[in-house]
Amino acid sequence: MLVSNTDRTKWGSYGDRKDSFDDEKEIDAFIRGVKKNASLLDHIGDAVGREPMYFRPHFYGQFGVDLSLVDENNNPVVDFEFERWSAWDKEWPAYYHHIHFLGRKNKYLLEDRPFFMVFLNYSRTKCLVVEKEVILQYPTITKKFKKKNVSDKVRELPLHLSEGRTFVL
Protein backbone atom coordinates (compact mmCIF):
# COMPACT_ATOMS: atom_id res chain seq x y z
CA MET A 1 0.00 0.00 0.00
CA LEU A 2 1.35 3.46 -0.95
CA VAL A 3 1.50 6.34 1.52
CA SER A 4 -1.83 8.16 1.50
CA ASN A 5 -2.69 11.80 2.14
CA THR A 6 -4.15 10.65 5.47
CA ASP A 7 -0.79 9.07 6.38
CA ARG A 8 1.08 12.27 5.45
CA THR A 9 -1.31 14.38 7.51
CA LYS A 10 -0.94 12.08 10.52
CA TRP A 11 2.87 11.87 10.35
CA GLY A 12 3.29 15.62 9.79
CA SER A 13 1.02 16.62 12.65
CA TYR A 14 2.76 17.62 15.85
CA GLY A 15 1.22 19.12 18.96
CA ASP A 16 2.97 22.44 18.34
CA ARG A 17 1.62 22.87 14.78
CA LYS A 18 -1.73 24.16 13.53
CA ASP A 19 -1.82 21.29 11.01
CA SER A 20 0.53 19.01 9.07
CA PHE A 21 1.33 21.80 6.58
CA ASP A 22 2.27 24.36 9.24
CA ASP A 23 6.02 24.76 8.86
CA GLU A 24 6.26 28.34 10.13
CA LYS A 25 8.31 27.40 13.21
CA GLU A 26 10.71 25.30 11.13
CA ILE A 27 11.24 28.21 8.73
CA ASP A 28 11.76 30.65 11.61
CA ALA A 29 14.26 28.33 13.33
CA PHE A 30 16.24 27.92 10.10
CA ILE A 31 16.34 31.67 9.37
CA ARG A 32 17.50 32.38 12.94
CA GLY A 33 20.12 29.65 12.55
CA VAL A 34 21.44 31.08 9.30
CA LYS A 35 21.77 34.50 10.96
CA LYS A 36 23.69 33.21 13.99
CA ASN A 37 25.65 30.23 12.62
CA ALA A 38 28.47 31.46 10.39
CA SER A 39 29.22 27.99 9.02
CA LEU A 40 25.59 27.51 7.91
CA LEU A 41 25.61 30.95 6.30
CA ASP A 42 28.89 30.10 4.55
CA HIS A 43 27.49 26.78 3.36
CA ILE A 44 24.53 28.49 1.70
CA GLY A 45 26.62 31.46 0.55
CA ASP A 46 29.08 29.18 -1.22
CA ALA A 47 26.21 28.07 -3.46
CA VAL A 48 24.52 31.40 -4.08
CA GLY A 49 26.96 34.23 -3.60
CA ARG A 50 26.96 37.10 -1.15
CA GLU A 51 24.82 39.87 -2.65
CA PRO A 52 22.01 41.21 -0.49
CA MET A 53 19.26 38.63 -0.33
CA TYR A 54 16.02 38.25 1.58
CA PHE A 55 14.15 35.22 2.87
CA ARG A 56 10.62 34.76 1.52
CA PRO A 57 8.52 31.91 2.98
CA HIS A 58 6.22 30.24 0.44
CA PHE A 59 7.35 32.56 -2.35
CA TYR A 60 5.60 30.36 -4.98
CA GLY A 61 2.42 29.83 -2.97
CA GLN A 62 0.98 26.91 -1.01
CA PHE A 63 2.30 24.14 -3.28
CA GLY A 64 5.80 25.52 -3.85
CA VAL A 65 8.93 25.16 -1.77
CA ASP A 66 8.84 26.22 1.86
CA LEU A 67 11.39 29.05 1.65
CA SER A 68 13.26 31.04 -0.99
CA LEU A 69 16.06 33.53 -0.94
CA VAL A 70 15.34 36.39 -3.32
CA ASP A 71 17.59 39.15 -4.58
CA GLU A 72 16.97 42.88 -4.26
CA ASN A 73 14.68 42.72 -7.33
CA ASN A 74 12.59 39.95 -5.73
CA ASN A 75 13.95 37.30 -8.12
CA PRO A 76 14.32 33.85 -6.55
CA VAL A 77 17.97 32.83 -6.18
CA VAL A 78 17.82 29.64 -4.05
CA ASP A 79 15.03 27.41 -2.71
CA PHE A 80 14.68 25.39 0.49
CA GLU A 81 12.32 22.61 1.49
CA PHE A 82 11.95 21.41 5.11
CA GLU A 83 11.18 18.13 6.84
CA ARG A 84 11.04 17.71 10.61
CA TRP A 85 11.88 14.33 12.09
CA SER A 86 10.28 13.22 15.34
CA ALA A 87 12.80 10.36 15.75
CA TRP A 88 15.78 12.74 15.71
CA ASP A 89 16.09 15.07 18.66
CA LYS A 90 19.29 15.34 20.70
CA GLU A 91 21.29 12.68 18.84
CA TRP A 92 20.88 11.13 15.42
CA PRO A 93 19.14 7.74 15.83
CA ALA A 94 21.71 4.95 15.49
CA TYR A 95 19.31 2.92 13.33
CA TYR A 96 19.04 5.67 10.67
CA HIS A 97 21.47 4.75 7.89
CA HIS A 98 19.72 6.65 5.10
CA ILE A 99 17.74 9.80 4.63
CA HIS A 100 14.86 9.87 2.21
CA PHE A 101 14.04 12.62 -0.21
CA LEU A 102 10.35 12.20 -1.02
CA GLY A 103 9.56 11.49 -4.66
CA ARG A 104 6.66 13.93 -4.65
CA LYS A 105 9.26 16.68 -4.15
CA ASN A 106 11.26 15.78 -7.27
CA LYS A 107 9.64 18.74 -9.04
CA TYR A 108 11.79 21.05 -6.90
CA LEU A 109 14.94 19.56 -8.43
CA LEU A 110 13.99 20.66 -11.97
CA GLU A 111 14.67 24.37 -11.53
CA ASP A 112 17.99 25.88 -12.62
CA ARG A 113 18.62 27.60 -9.28
CA PRO A 114 20.23 25.96 -6.24
CA PHE A 115 18.00 23.87 -3.98
CA PHE A 116 18.63 22.65 -0.44
CA MET A 117 16.68 19.97 1.42
CA VAL A 118 16.75 20.79 5.13
CA PHE A 119 15.97 18.06 7.67
CA LEU A 120 15.34 19.46 11.17
CA ASN A 121 15.44 17.57 14.43
CA TYR A 122 12.26 17.48 16.49
CA SER A 123 13.19 20.38 18.78
CA ARG A 124 14.44 22.46 15.83
CA THR A 125 17.92 22.95 17.26
CA LYS A 126 19.85 21.11 14.52
CA CYS A 127 19.49 20.62 10.81
CA LEU A 128 20.98 18.45 8.11
CA VAL A 129 21.33 20.32 4.81
CA VAL A 130 21.59 18.38 1.54
CA GLU A 131 22.21 20.03 -1.82
CA LYS A 132 20.30 19.28 -5.01
CA GLU A 133 23.45 17.91 -6.68
CA VAL A 134 23.76 15.22 -4.01
CA ILE A 135 20.07 14.29 -4.17
CA LEU A 136 20.20 13.93 -7.96
CA GLN A 137 22.89 11.24 -7.67
CA TYR A 138 20.28 8.77 -6.41
CA PRO A 139 17.35 7.36 -8.39
CA THR A 140 13.75 7.53 -7.25
CA ILE A 141 12.67 4.10 -6.03
CA THR A 142 9.58 2.60 -4.43
CA LYS A 143 10.68 1.91 -0.86
CA LYS A 144 8.82 -0.33 1.58
CA PHE A 145 8.85 1.15 5.10
CA LYS A 146 8.37 -1.96 7.21
CA LYS A 147 7.69 -0.19 10.51
CA LYS A 148 4.75 1.74 9.02
CA ASN A 149 3.78 -1.03 6.57
CA VAL A 150 3.59 1.35 3.59
CA SER A 151 5.59 2.15 0.48
CA ASP A 152 6.52 5.51 -0.95
CA LYS A 153 8.54 6.87 -3.84
CA VAL A 154 11.81 8.22 -2.45
CA ARG A 155 15.42 8.87 -3.24
CA GLU A 156 17.35 6.91 -0.63
CA LEU A 157 20.58 8.71 0.26
CA PRO A 158 23.21 6.93 2.34
CA LEU A 159 23.86 8.97 5.43
CA HIS A 160 27.45 10.16 5.38
CA LEU A 161 28.62 13.50 6.68
CA SER A 162 30.12 14.10 3.25
CA GLU A 163 26.63 13.81 1.73
CA GLY A 164 25.15 16.63 3.79
CA ARG A 165 26.13 18.97 6.56
CA THR A 166 24.68 19.07 10.06
CA PHE A 167 24.39 22.49 11.71
CA VAL A 168 23.29 23.84 15.07
CA LEU A 169 20.45 26.33 14.72
Asked whether residue 7 carries a pLDDT value surpassing 70, the answer given is: no
Confidence of residue 162 (pLDDT cuts 50, 70, 90): very low
Q: Which residue has the higher pLDDT, 140 or 50?
A: 140
Asked whether residue 105 carries a pLDDT value surpassing 70, the answer given is: yes
User: Number of structural domains, the chain?
Assistant: 1
Q: Which residue has the higher pLDDT, 66 or 92?
A: 66
**3-state DSSP assignment of residue 142:** strand
Contact 153, 141 (CB under 8 A): yes
Q: Which residue has the higher pLDDT, 150 or 54?
A: 54
Confidence of residue 5 (pLDDT cuts 50, 70, 90): low
pTM of the full structure: 0.87
pLDDT of residue 12: 55
Whether residue 17 lies inside any domain: the answer is no
Whole domain around residue 151: which residue ranges?
5-12+23-168
Q: What is the mean pLDDT of residues 145-155?
A: 84
User: What CATH number does residue 151 fall under?
Assistant: 3.40.1350
For the stretch 132-162, what's the b/e string if a residue is b when 16 or more beta carbons lie within 10 angstroms of its beta carbon? bebbeebeeeebeeeeeeeebbbbebeeeee
Confidence of residue 81 (pLDDT cuts 50, 70, 90): very high
24-36 and 38-48 are packed helices; what angle lies between their axes, rounded to 10 degrees? 100
Whether residue 77 lies inside any domain: the answer is yes
Q: Quote the CA–CA distance of 99 and 118 in Å, as a whole number.
A: 11
Q: Which residue has the higher pLDDT, 112 or 9?
A: 112
Asked whether residue 87 carries a pLDDT value surpassing 70, the answer given is: yes
Whether residue 141 lies inside any domain: the answer is yes
